[in-house]
């Protein structure tokens, strides 16, 4: 019935995982980029399957009451902020609903319902931001050339590696624009070439910028297709003039790959790291460090984790997928001992160093896969944690890891997730085998995008 190039009108009723609007006509669902909930639109079908299709937005016939004017001129081209045209209150409502729906549909949980006297699941209102722009403490800008051969930097267009020239991102800190101006001006003055992905030639690939929201310290790291930057002293002299400049680094990446950073890091000037705080805990952040990009919301997230862990000072805690120890060190303030496990060895080195600079002696960090290290800890030492915290990648926890959690039988499990679908799957696994879900808290860590962070508290049923 529906065919490619056919035009139709529809009401947008939902949002997809990539921020596209979803409308339905005669039993078929259509995904429409740049449409928001409540829009009545005219679209053109670009691709049609049996029961769903993809359509291009032709005209907003009647705009949604929740539609707003995006502050970024490159919003539609870039695709990094999928929800920028949606009122922020509606963004929060969408994210809250997304987490709830995944828990109910995938996990089979009944939110805020009491059945046969069972423990009620508390689903708390999402924690939003007072200022949902300019919140990112890290930005990675690709460098290339346009059709006229002029050096450009900005962001990749959605689902492509074409650079949208834009030095003023509404999510990054405002100093980023000045730094990019200096870098590009330097490259033009000394005829420093930009990297070309197709040929693998050219020198400067990316500009990485890190900013300490508490300390105001700045790191600039140029990712090079080589190990030497000509006339680097001139660049250093200009960047040093910026207030807060602390570290100027080079990262060597000579591989023909989409991976941004290489393994070798060289110091041009200043320290090899910047520092920042989450709460009272101080962290050293290098170019390769994993560190949450939204420090304002990270503090709220970690405070929720600490609240759910309900520590009295006598507990043994395991923190799986611990990164540079951000959550581990937060927990160590109130636990007897914390064991952090992380597969990335440089992150473990950072975690140990962060423990040292904070004078925290009750945190031990182990390198390796959580699904391998945790079973060894349990089988070889008989370690039984009172509380286990997991903060896995998007794919969720490995089943072996979940099995070991069940064997260790902690009283409480605190699950931090950036993907509520895999979260629901893993919670179902644990709750089918002796645990019950008590509380859920969503946190808007990535405003203007479709991503949402969640924290869940599980209790052992017989505890």
What count of other Cβ atoms lies within 10 Å of the Cβ of residue 272?
14
Q: Is 170 a catalytic residue?
A: no
Residues in CB range of 131: below 8 A, 6 or more apart: none
- The residues near 342 (Cβ < 8 Å, ≥ 6 apart) are 321, 322, 323, 348, 351, 365, 366, 367, 370
Torsion-angle region of residue 90: left (phi > 0), alpha (psi -120 to 50) or beta? alpha
Torsion of CA 404, 409, 415, 419, to 10 degrees: 40
Residue of 221, 418, 431, 456 marked active site: 418
How far is the C-alpha of 374 from the C-alpha of 242, rounded, in Å? 45
Tell me the two tokens of residue 380. Answer: 């070889």
CA 244, 250, 255, 257: dihedral to nearest 10 degrees?
10
Given a contact cutoff of 8 angstroms between Cβ atoms, the answer to whether 124 and 112 are in contact is no
C-alpha dist (Å) from residue 26 to 2, 62, 64, 107: 10, 20, 22, 29
Q: Which two tokens stand for residue 426?
A: 């893993």
- What are φ and ψ of residue 284, in 5° steps? -100, 130
Integer-rounded Cα Rg, in Å, for the chain is 24
Distance, in Å, from the CA atom of 7 to the CA atom of 25, rounded to the nearest integer, reads 12
In angstroms, rounded to a whole number, what is the distance separating the alpha carbons of residues 224 and 251? 6
Query: Do the beta carbons of residue 66 and residue 48 sit within 8 Å?
Result: no
Query: Which residue shows structure tokens 């709750």?
Result: 431
Phi and psi torsions of 423, nearest 5°: -60, -50
Instruction: List C-alpha distances in Å: 315 to 331, 332, 334, 337.
Output: 10, 10, 8, 7
Residue 375 burial by CB count (10 A; 0-12/13-18/19+): exposed, middle or buried? middle
User: In the β-sheet with 363-367, what is the strand arrangement from edge to edge?
Assistant: 122-127, 435-443, 453-460, 412-417, 387-390, 316-320, 337-342, 363-367
CA gap 15, 450 in Å, rounded: 9
Cα-based distances in Å from 366 to 30, 100, 173, 334, 456 = 47, 34, 34, 20, 24
Active site positions, annotated: 418
């Amino acid at each position: 019935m529906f065919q490619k190039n056919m035009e139709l009108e529809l009401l947008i009723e939902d949002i997809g995982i990539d921020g596209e609007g979803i409308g339905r006509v005669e039993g078929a669902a259509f995904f429409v980029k740049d449409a928001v909930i409540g829009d009545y639109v005219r679209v053109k079908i670009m691709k049609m399957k049996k029961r769903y299709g993809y359509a291009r937005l032709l005209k907003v016939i009647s705009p949604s009451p929740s539609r707003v004017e995006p502050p970024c001129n490159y919003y539609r081209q870039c695709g990094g902020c999928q929800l920028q045209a949606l009122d922020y209150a509606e963004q929060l409502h969408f994210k809250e609903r997304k987490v709830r729906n995944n828990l109910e549909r995938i996990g089979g949980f009944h939110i805020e319902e009491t059945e046969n006297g069972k423990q009620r699941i508390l689903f708390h209102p999402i924690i939003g931001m007072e200022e949902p722009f300019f919140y990112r403490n890290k930005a990675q800008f690709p460098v290339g050339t346009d059709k006229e051969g002029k050096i450009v930097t900005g962001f990749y267009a959605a689902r492509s590696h074409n650079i949208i020239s834009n030095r003023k991102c509404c999510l990054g800190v405002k100093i980023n624009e000045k730094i990019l101006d200096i870098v590009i001006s330097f490259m033009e003055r000394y005829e420093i070439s930009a990297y070309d992905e197709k040929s693998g030639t050219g020198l400067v690939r990316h500009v990485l910028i890190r900013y300490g929201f508490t300390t105001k310290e700045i790191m600039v790291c140029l990712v090079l297709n080589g190990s030497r930057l000509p006339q680097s002293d001139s660049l250093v002299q200009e960047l040093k003039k910026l207030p807060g400049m602390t570290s100027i680094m080079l990262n060597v990446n000579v591989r023909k790959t989409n991976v941004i950073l290489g393994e070798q890091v060289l110091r041009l000037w200043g320290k090899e790291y910047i520092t920042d705080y989450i709460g009272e805990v101080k962290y050293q952040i290098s170019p390769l460090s994993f560190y949450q990009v939204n420090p304002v919301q990270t503090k709220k997230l970690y405070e929720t984790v600490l609240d759910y862990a309900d520590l009295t000072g006598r507990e043994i805690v395991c923190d799986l997928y611990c990164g540079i120890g951000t959550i581990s060190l937060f927990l160590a303030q109130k636990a007897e001992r914390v064991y952090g496990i992380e597969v990335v060895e440089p992150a473990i080195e950072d975690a140990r160093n962060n423990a040292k600079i904070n004078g925290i002696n009750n945190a031990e960090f182990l390198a390796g896969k959580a699904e391998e290290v945790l079973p060894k800890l349990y089988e070889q030492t008989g370690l039984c944690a009172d509380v286990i915290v997991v903060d896995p990648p998007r794919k969720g926890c490995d089943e072996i890891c979940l099995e070991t959690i069940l064997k260790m039988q902690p009283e409480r499990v605190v699950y931090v997730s950036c993907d509520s679908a895999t979260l629901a799957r893993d919670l179902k696994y644990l709750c089918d085998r002796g645990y019950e879900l008590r509380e859920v808290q969503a946190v808007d860590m990535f405003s203007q995008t479709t991503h949402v962070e969640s924290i869940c508290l599980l209790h052992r049923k017989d505890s």
